[in-house]
Each structure stands twice: as structure tokens, then as C-alpha cells.
């Protein structure tokens, strides 16, 4: 018989465990509630049944904590497919049980699952199964309770601060963010959160490893090897058929072989298949490998299909030829198909506290947003989950490289034998599942575990080093052919576990906003070879705020209890106050405050991308090879570091990052000369008194293409307080795959200083830079450098002229405008928090006189909507068009 996979997805029921019933099995015949969907989580079922309030609204999170302290049951009945008993083997496959679960089949306990991240297989005998009405019964216990019991047994350890969950979380293999994080609620879920299947067979493909090889550059020769392991009656398997197909179904090559095992095919595919490239460097060409297990007379016993791509990926850590401000050290860069690429991207957290609520469309929308923002890498952070297959499938399609953390974050994890063996199998399950994806660029041992030990001090040992330095690298090396790079932790580098050495490995830059609470203007001077985390938080869209307020008008102000409930960042009150007071005028008006926090985030993060990408200076001088912002997304409606909020509403920072990561970008940096030698060191712009001897502007261009580009640099100098303007133009060539310094000059102003000690008038001058294609005149990139801090700038009325034609918005000004951020209020928008269907090609723009900008707004045409815009000087915003 052919193997049959039967999803067990129908007729599920659930209930809370009744502690008064002695045996859990005695509850089978009690009262149950039907599950609304499957896979399932108990919070979702309770919410849909109207038995709990929405934990994402108001203070409701606190009213549902009892759920995590309780035990929960799930039950269904299933029959054999067609009541056919011709099979010799059977197994139940559990793709994800969250987290502690006793599994019973027809009253017999067949599994104890204690790891949310593992795939569990249970072999069954014919006696275990009935033709019909097999009772599958799941008993979920409290992960919180077990964690505290294990903590008593093995000892209390450090694991983050109070806003990173109870430290006992380290003992249980459950998604760490669910215990509470500094951007997420404490919602201890449980349930069968991924698929369950019955597999019946005589012989069955246990695993198929498709090894898509590409030789080193410049040859880049392609080949395919396939390994096939069989479960069940091995003698029934007489061979296999392997077919490589294009996605349209056209066969590239096929072969029928007489054996199973290692390397059943080894095909030279030179000239027959194309390479897979990350976005921006070529096409994302994918192929299907279809494998059929053959029995006597070529009867098909089982089939497996995998989608693959042909590429090489290497993590290059080699000595630099020159020194930067930090010294020499080594690179930390990714090379794909022989091409060294600057990585610009985001960190990813789970996009919902209830994972079953995420659809394929949700994943595609998030990852498309990232890709459309000119990002080419996503880092899956170590406190979430290994995402489902569809996540990586979409990354393959979009050309987004994946940095995959193993699921350890911010703690001193244990290393007793049972724990290590459990985690080793977790690693094996997930590496096997993910290794064929061409998007997988790196496996990383943990998030900030080394850093935390150094930060806290007084901790002599990190027991889980055996995982990060032995188990994980061994699993990755053994299972990944072609090889996939491994990095033992993020951040990691330097001597003695040093996680802050900017000359080696990767760094997390949290001394700005957190840590030392430096001003954001310090970003250019505190980078590293690869910045894999950094960020500044901001409020989400006001409609998202109104969602969690749910009509609570008395709390509709920035420092209210409701706002604090939805802002989990450590010391956020003080940290927000410092950076906001330094840079913006105080306000008690909510919409203005929201806008100011968003501009703060936008200005700070885009400065970091701009300055650090500048350090991608060419071979031997690749001082910074990647910048990944914390974070792309949210798991609930919240004030956070996310660049788009829970409802997929992009904040201004999303658009400014996108401009910094365009294939061609332009950057500028103003350095102000101190008034006197004993003034505060390193002033930024006119910081403090708006009086300086002089200011210098450095301008550079960035070109990620592999060919040089001839451009014209156009500089505009506009005084905010007079009619004075000046311009400068020069021709230049942007070197390939690196930054190019274009000009360094004194910032001119309306008044000409008579001597070197006179006060300079550049404090009120905005500098606009455009890169224009030398051949076509097309505007390739823009950037505007404004005096700072913004609280001391008297922003002029720009005399906005906004024209809307279909799905195009044209913006012109008479005076410079800073931070124009457009939003659309749809008439009859319905549910509060419903994400807009409109998508902007660009937003959060600075506009100069004589340089109108055209924005494309997909989905705007035909809508009954109001177009609003806010900008510096008019932060609350106003309606500029209604249709």
C-alpha cells in the first residue's frame, strides 16, 4: 500500500481540567466545548467563546493570568482512512504541542511532550488503533508550575530583568516571549498549536535531504545530491525516482534508481539550473525536487517534494587591511555566490502572542513589507519560535536572507543531561526542517546570553556553553551539506566572551536609548563590524492606541495608566523623557506627542543606517557589513521599537530606513566647531546654544550595484529665516558595492563671518542633497540635513501644495518642510485597529522648494477617505484632501 497521511484536524473539543476529578481520563465523558479552529490555543478558544476579555485591550492582560496556572484538555475522535488495515506500520506526528502535554490514545498514554519546539513522532501498533472512533486525548499542564518546580530543584538563576519574565522560564522549552518581555504581555498559552497527522504505511520516506551544491566562485558550478532514508519495511522499497522541475512543472532532469540511502543521485547540473540570489542581486530562481519511493513493479509507496535553490553562502571573518576609528580587527560579512553584500534588515519577533492566529497572508504581508523597504535580511530572534515552513518559503520567494537564532534569550540556561538531550533533539528537528531553504544564511546559538553574564557580573560560569559551543555547531556541521555558517551567540566576538568589541563579531548597540543613555546623535561613533540589534522606540499609529484604549477617554494622554500598560520598555518613562526633552518641545497633546516620538525614532534609526552603511567602504575596508534594527514587528498593540505596529501600520522610520537602503543613496553629516576649547566636547549640529564658529558638511553616496554609476550631486542650501539660498553641483562616479566620499565643505550661510571667531550663521541653514543620474537626469536619491535639536528650530510654514490624482500624491512647497507624514482615514473603517489597505511608495519625507515629490499610494483610488499630513511645525496634522 502507499503511505497515507491523514490530518487529524476535525471535531476537536476542549475544556478546563476539573481538579475535583481524580483521574484525568475520567473527564473524557464530561462536558466539552467545540474548538472553533484547529490548530488551537486555549486563549483563542476562551476569547471566541466569550469567556475572557480581549487581553490586548486595556488592562485585560491581568484578568487572564489564571489561564496559565490552569490545566487544559483537548479531545477528538478519528478513524482509519477508509477503515483500511492493509498497512503494517503507523505513527502519529505532532508538529507542535505547547508545551507540557500527556498524550493518550484510546486511554493509553503514548507520549509526554515537554518541548514546544520539537516534532514528536509516536510509533503505533495495529492493536493501538481502531477502525473508527479512536480517541485522541491531550492533557496540557502548567508550564509556569513546572518552571518553578525545576527552579527549586536546580536553583534560581539570572534571566533578564523584571520585564523579561520570571527567571524560571529558562528551565522550560517554551517560547520565552510568552512569559513577558519588554515589548510584550505575559500570556502563557497552551494547546496543539501546529498540525497533528496519522501516517499509515508499509514503507515510508522518513527523511529526504536535498543537497543543492554550488562550487566556489568564480566557477559556481551547480550539482544536486539526494539522500533518502526509509522507515518501515525496508525490503519493500525497491528504489526511487527523483525529478527536478522548474516551478512551472518543466522537468530539468529525472532518474530512476535501484537503491535508497545516501546519495541516491549525484547530478551535474551545469548549464541546466540558474542561481538563487538575494533580493537586489538577481532572480530568486527556485526548483521543485519530487522524490517517489518505489516498490515492486514501480508501485509508488510514498512521495516527498521539496523546493530548493542553488546558492553558496559564507560568513567571512578575515583581517581588515586598514583601521577605522576602532582599530583593525576582522570583517563580519556575508558572501553569497561569491558576492560580498551589505546586509540591511530587521529583527523579527513572533507577530502574535497567539500563533494560531497568523495566516499565510499575514506572513506574506510582513515579509513583503520588509522586502519592499529595501531590506535583504531578517533575524529570527532567540526568544520566539522557529517559525512554520511557510515563513521560510516566503523568504525564499522574496530573496530575504534569514539569520536564525536557536531559541535561547537573555538568561543563564541549564545544562543538566536531560535538558541538553532534549535541546539537542530540538536542534536536529529544526535544522533538518530548515536546511534546504536557500534563504537560510546563518544559525546562531543564542540571543545575548554571553552578554548578560558579562553585564551582570558575579556569574562564574554559563552552563549552556555546552550547547552554544558544542551541541549546536556539531548538529549544524553534521546535518548541513552544503554548509551553513554558525555563530555561537549574538552578540559575540573578541576575547573572553567580549560581546562589545566593535572590531570583531557582531554587536548590539543599546548604549543609546538604554544602557548609558547616550543621545541618538552618537550612533555614527558607536558601531561595529555588524550591528545585529539597536533601536529607538516610538508610539504606534493613534488608531492603534485608540484600539487598546477601547473608548477610555480619560486615559487618552501620553503618561496615563493605559499607556504604561502598553509600554513595557525598562525605565521607559525616564528614557523617553531624556531623549524627547533633548530634541523636541514638550507637549501634552497626544497626537503631537505620538508624532514627535515617531520622528525621534525615524531620525535616530535612519542616522544609524546611514552612518554605518557609509563604513562599507570596499575590499579591505568593509568596516561595517550589516545593520539589523530592533525590531520589525509587534506581537500585540504596544509602544515599542517596531518599525511597523501590530496592525501592520508602518511608522515613519520604515520609510526612512527604506531610503537609506536603496541601491543608491546619499548621506550627509554636519560637524559643528566648538565655540571655545573648553566647551562641551563633540557638539552635534548647534546642540546646546545654536552658536558656533563654523560647521562642516560631509556628503557621500552609496552604490550596492556591482558596476560604477555616474551621477551628479546637487547641493541646496536654504536659510530657514530669510530668503537666502545657495547651490552647488558636481559630477561624480559612485564606486561599485561600496560608499564613495563626494564632498567635504563648510556649510555656507546668509552672513559672511569677518573673522574666525565670529558667530557662524549656518545654524539656520538646511542642506539638501540629491543624486541625479548623469545620463537620464532621474533623481536617484535625496537627503536633507537639518539643524538640531529640533526644539530650537522655528520651522517655517512650508505653504504645502498637495495634489491627488488617482493613486498619485504630488507634494510641493515654497519653504523647506521636515518630516511630512501622510495617513489615510477611511470612511466606515469599521473595527478599530483595522489595518489600512493603502500602501505608500514613500512617506515621512523632507521636501525642498523647486523639488516636488510624487508618492504612489496603492489602494487609494476610489476610496472615500481623508488624507492627513503632519510635519514639523504642524505635528498634530490636518486634512489636506478628502474624497
Whether 205-308 and 795-883 share one fold: the answer is yes
pLDDT surpassing 90 at residue 418: yes
Q: How far is 511 from 509, CA to CA, in rounded Å? A: 6
Q: Tell me the C-alpha distance between 128 and 745, whole Å.
A: 81
Higher-pLDDT residue of 668, 828: 668
Instruction: Give per-residue pLDDT as tens, 778-817.
Output: 999 999 999 988 998 999 999 999 999 999 999 999 999 9
- Residues contacting residue 661 through CB under 8 Å, at least 6 positions apart: 344, 373, 374, 375, 376, 609, 613
Nearest to 560 by CA among 545, 570, 547: 545
pLDDT of residue 167: 96
Distance CA 713, CA 30 (A): 76
Note whether 554 and 634 are within 8 A (CB): no
Confidence grade of residue 831 (pLDDT, cut at 50, 70, 90): very low
Q: What per-residue confidence (pLDDT) applies to 881?
A: 83
Distances (CA, A) of 379 to 135, 297, 508, 791: 41, 48, 13, 35
Considering only residues 291 and 865, tell me which one the structure prediction assigns the higher pLDDT: 291
Of 569 and 406, more confident: 406
Pairing of strands 401-405, 377-380: parallel
pLDDT at 678: 66
Torsion of CA 431, 436, 438, 441, to 10 degrees: 20
Catalytic positions are: 448
SS3 224: strand
| Strand ranges, E, within 258-295 | 261-268, 287-294
Mean pLDDT of the chain: 94
pLDDT value, residue 161: 79
Whole-angstrom distance, CA of residue 153 vs CA of residue 868: 59
Residue % of the chain over a pLDDT of 70: 96
Render pLDDT for 107-156 as a digit per residue (tens, 0 to 9).
999 999 999 999 999 999 988 999 999 999 999 999 999 999 999 999 99
Architecture per CATH, 4-198: Sandwich (2.60)
Residue 832's pLDDT is 40
Give the Cα separation of 596 and 592 in Å (integer). Answer: 6
Q: Provide the strand spans (E) within 101-221.
A: 101-105, 108-113, 120-124, 134-140, 179-181, 184-186, 196-201, 203-214
- Residues 263-274 have pLDDT tens digits of 999 999 999 999
Cβ neighbour number for residue 630 with a 10 Å cutoff? 26
**295: CB partners within 8 A, 6+ apart:** 202, 203, 236, 237, 238, 301
pLDDT of residue 126: 84
Beta carbons of 749 and 765 less than 8 angstroms apart: yes
pLDDT at 758 over 80: no
Contact in structure between 169 and 147 (CB atoms under 8 Å): yes
pLDDT surpassing 60 at residue 834:
no
Q: What is the mean pLDDT of residues 285-308?
A: 97
Query: Which pairs from 273-276 meet CB under 8 Å and 24+ separation?
Result: 273/222, 273/244, 273/310, 274/310, 275/214, 275/220, 275/222, 275/309, 275/310, 275/311, 275/337, 276/309, 276/310, 276/311, 276/396, 276/399, 276/438
Q: Is the pLDDT of residue 764 over 80?
A: yes
CA distance 326 to 462: 28
The residue among 84, 78, 83 whose CA lies nearest residue 202 is 84
The pLDDT of residue 218 is above 80: yes
Model confidence band, residue 828 (pLDDT cutoffs 50, 70, 90): very low
Give domain 795-883's CATH architecture: Sandwich (2.60)
Strand partners, 186: 179
> Tell me, what's the pLDDT at 496?
78
The arithmetic mean of pLDDT across residues 711-728, rounded, is 96
Q: What is the pLDDT of residue 751?
A: 76
Summarize the confidence of residues 629-651 as an average pLDDT.
97
In this predicted structure, what is the pLDDT of residue 754?
59
The full set of domain ranges for the chain reads 4-198, 205-308, 323-661, 662-794, 795-883
pLDDT of 528 higher than 60: yes
Quick one: pLDDT band at residue 646, thresholds 50, 70, 90? very high
In this prediction the pTM is 0.96
| pLDDT tens sequence across 665-715 | 999 999 887 766 666 655 455 544 566 778 899 999 999 999 999 999 999
CATH of domain 205-308: 2.60.40.10
Residue with cell 510509533: 123
CB 67 within 8 A of CB 43: yes
Cell of 106: 484510546
- List the single range of 65-69, 266-270, 518-522, 833-837 with lowest mean pLDDT: 833-837
Do 241 and 265 form a contact (C-beta atoms < 8 A)? Answer: no
Q: Could you say which architecture CATH assigns to the domain 662-794?
A: Sandwich (2.60)
Instruction: Read off the pLDDT of residues 372-384 as tens digits, 9 standing for 90 and up.
Output: 999 999 999 999 9
Nearest alpha-carbon partner for 165 in 191, 149, 183, 153: 183
Output the CA angle 209-215-220, nearest 5 degrees.
Answer: 120
Cα separation, 264 vs 569, whole angstroms:
53
Q: Is 802 exposed, middle or buried (0-12, 13-18, 19+ CB in 10 A)?
A: middle
Answer whether residue 309 shows pLDDT above 50: yes
Residue 561 has pLDDT above 50, yes or no: yes
- Tell me if the domain spanning 323-661 has CATH number 1.10.240.10: no
Does position 182 have pLDDT exceeding 80, yes or no? yes
Amino acid at each position: 500500500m502507499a503511505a497515507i497521511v491523514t490530518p487529524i484536524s476535525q471535531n476537536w473539543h476542549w475544556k478546563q481540567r476539573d481538579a475535583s476529578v481524580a483521574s484525568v481520563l475520567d473527564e473524557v465523558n464530561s462536558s466539552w466545548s467545540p474548538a472553533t479552529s484547529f490548530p488551537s490555543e486555549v486563549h483563542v478558544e476562551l476569547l471566541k467563546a466569550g469567556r475572557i476579555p480581549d487581553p490586548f485591550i486595556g488592562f485585560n492582560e491581568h484578568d487572564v493570568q489564571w489561564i496559565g496556572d490552569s490545566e487544559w484538555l483537548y479531545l477528538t475522535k478519528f478513524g482509519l482512512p477508509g477503515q483500511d488495515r492493509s498497512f503494517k506500520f503507523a505513527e502519529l506526528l505532532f508538529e507542535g504541542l505547547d508545551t507540557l502535554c500527556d498524550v493518550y490514545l484510546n486511554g493509553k498514554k503514548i507520549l509526554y511532550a515537554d518541548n514546544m519546539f520539537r516534532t514528536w513522532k509516536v510509533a503505533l501498533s495495529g492493536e493501538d488503533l481502531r477502525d473508527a472512533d479512536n480517541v485522541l486525548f491531550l492533557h496540557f499542564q502548567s508550564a509556569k508550575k513546572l518552571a518553578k518546580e525545576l527552579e527549586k530543584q536546580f536553583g534560581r538563576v539570572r534571566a533578564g530583568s523584571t520585564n523579561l519574565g520570571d527567571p524560571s522560564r529558562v528551565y522550560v522549552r517554551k517560547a520565552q516571549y510568552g512569559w513577558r518581555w519588554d515589548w510584550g504581555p505575559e500570556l502563557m498559552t497552551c494547546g496543539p498549536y501546529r498540525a497533528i497527522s496519522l501516517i499509515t504505511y508499509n514503507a515510508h520516506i522518513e527523511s529526504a535531504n536535498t543537497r543543492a551544491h554550488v562550487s566556489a566562485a568564480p566557477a559556481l558550478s551547480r550539482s544536486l545530491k539526494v539522500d533518502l532514508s526509509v522507515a518501515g519495511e525496508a525490503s519493500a522499497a525497491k528504489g526511487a525516482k527523483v525529478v527536478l522541475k522548474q516551478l512551472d512543472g518543466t522537468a530539468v532532469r529525472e532518474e530512476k534508481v535501484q537503491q535508497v540511502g545516501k546519495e541516491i543521485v549525484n547530478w551535474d547540473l551545469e548549464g541546466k539550473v540558474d542561481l538563487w540570489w538575494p533580493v537586489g542581486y538577481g532572480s530568486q530562481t527556485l526548483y521543485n525536487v519530487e522524490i517517489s519511493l518505489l516498490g515492486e513493479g514501480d508501485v509508488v509507496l510514498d512521495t516527498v517534494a521539496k523546493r530548493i535553490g542553488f546558492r553558496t553562502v559564507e560568513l567571512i571573518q578575515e583581517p581588515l587591511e586598514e583601521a577605522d576609528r576602532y582599530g583593525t580587527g576582522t570583517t563580519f560579512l556575508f558572501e553569497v555566490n561569491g558576492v560580498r553584500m551589505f546586509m540591511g534588515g530587521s529583527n523579527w519577533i513572533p507577530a502574535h502572542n497567539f500563533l494560531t492566529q497568523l495566516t499565510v497572508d499575514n506572513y506574506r504581508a510582513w515579509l513583503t513589507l520588509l522586502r519592499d523597504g529595501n531590506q535583504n535580511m531578517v533575524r529570527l530572534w532567540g526568544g520566539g519560535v522557529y517559525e512554520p515552513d511557510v515563513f521560510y518559503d516566503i523568504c525564499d520567494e522574496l530573496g530575504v536572507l534569514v539569520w536564525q537564532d536557536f531559541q535561547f534569550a537573555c538568561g543563564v540556561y541549564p545544562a543538566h543531561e536531560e535538558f541538553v538531550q532534549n535541546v539537542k533533539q530540538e536542534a536536529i528537528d529544526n535544522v533538518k526542517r530548515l536546511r534546504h531553504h536557500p534563504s537560510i544564511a546563518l544559525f546562531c546559538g543564542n540571543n545575548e546570553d554571553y552578554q548578560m553574564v558579562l553585564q551582570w557580573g558575579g556569574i562564574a560560569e554559563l552552563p549552556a556553553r555546552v550547547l552554544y559551543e558544542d551541541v549546536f555547531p556539531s548538529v549544524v556541521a553534521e546535518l548541513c551539506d552544503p554548509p551553513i555558517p554558525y555563530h555561537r551567540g549574538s552578540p559575540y566576538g573578541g576575547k573572553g566572551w567580549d560581546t562589545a568589541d566593535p572590531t570583531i563579531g557582531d554587536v548590539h548597540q543599546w548604549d543609546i536609548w538604554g544602557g548609558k543613555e547616550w543621545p541618538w546623535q552618537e550612533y555614527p561613533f558607536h558601531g561595529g563590524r555588524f550591528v545585529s540589534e539597536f533601536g529607538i522606540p516610538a508610539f504606534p499609529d493613534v488608531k492603534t492606541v485608540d484600539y487598546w484604549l477601547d473608548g477610555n477617554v480619560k486615559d487618552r494622554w501620553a503618561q496615563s495608566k493605559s499607556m504604561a500598560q502598553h509600554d513595557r520598555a525598562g525605565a521607559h518613562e525616564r528614557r523617553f523623557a531624556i531623549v524627547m526633552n533633548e530634541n523636541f518641545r514638550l507637549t501634552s497633546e497626544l497626537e503631537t506627542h505620538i508624532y514627535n516620538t515617531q520622528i525621534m525614532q525615524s531620525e535616530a534609526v535612519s542616522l544609524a543606517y546611514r552612518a554605518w552603511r557609509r563604513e562599507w567602504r570596499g575590499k579591505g575596508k568593509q568596516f561595517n557589513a550589516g545593520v539589523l534594527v530592533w525590531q520589525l514587528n509587534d506581537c500585540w498593540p504596544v509602544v515599542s521599537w517596531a518599525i511597523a505596529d501590530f496592525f501592520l501600520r508602518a511608522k515613519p522610520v520604515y520609510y526612512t530606513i527604506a531610503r537609506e537602503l536603496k541601491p543608491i543613496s546619499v548621506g550627509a553629516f554636519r560637524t559643528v566647531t566648538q565655540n571655545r576649547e573648553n566647551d562641551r566636547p563633540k557638539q552635534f549640529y548647534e546642540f546646546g546654544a545654536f552658536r558656533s564658529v563654523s560647521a562642516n558638511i560631509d556628503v557621500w553616496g552609496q552604490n550596492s550595484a556591482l558596476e560604477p554609476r555616474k551621477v551628479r550631486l546637487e547641493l541646496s542650501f536654504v536659510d530657514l529665516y530669510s530668503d537666502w539660498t545657495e547651490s552647488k553641483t558636481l559630477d561624480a562616479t559612485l564606486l561599485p558595492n561600496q560608499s564613495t566620499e563626494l564632498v567635504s565643505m563648510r556649510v555656507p550661510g546668509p552672513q559672511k563671518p569677518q573673522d574666525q571667531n565670529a558667530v557662524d550663521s549656518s545654524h539656520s541653514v538646511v542642506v539638501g542633497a540629491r543624486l541625479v543620474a548623469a545620463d537620464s537626469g532621474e533623481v536617484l536619491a535625496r537627503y536633507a540635513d537639518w539643524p538640531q535639536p529640533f526644539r530650537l528650530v522655528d520651522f517655517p510654514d512650508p505653504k504645502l501644495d498637495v495634489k491627488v490624482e488617482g493613486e498619485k500624491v504630488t507634494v510641493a512647497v515654497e519653504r523647506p518642510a521636515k518630516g511630512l507624514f501622510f495617513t489615510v482615514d477611511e470612511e466606515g473603517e469599521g473595527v478599530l485597529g483595522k489595518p489600512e489597505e493603502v500602501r505608500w511608495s514613500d512617506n515621512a519625507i523632507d521636501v525642498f522648494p523647486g523639488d516636488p515629490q510624487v508618492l504612489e499610494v496603492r489602494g487609494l483610488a476610489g476610496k472615500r477617505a481623508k488624507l492627513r499630513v503632519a510635519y514639523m511645525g504642524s505635528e498634530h496634522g490636518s486634512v489636506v484632501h478628502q474624497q
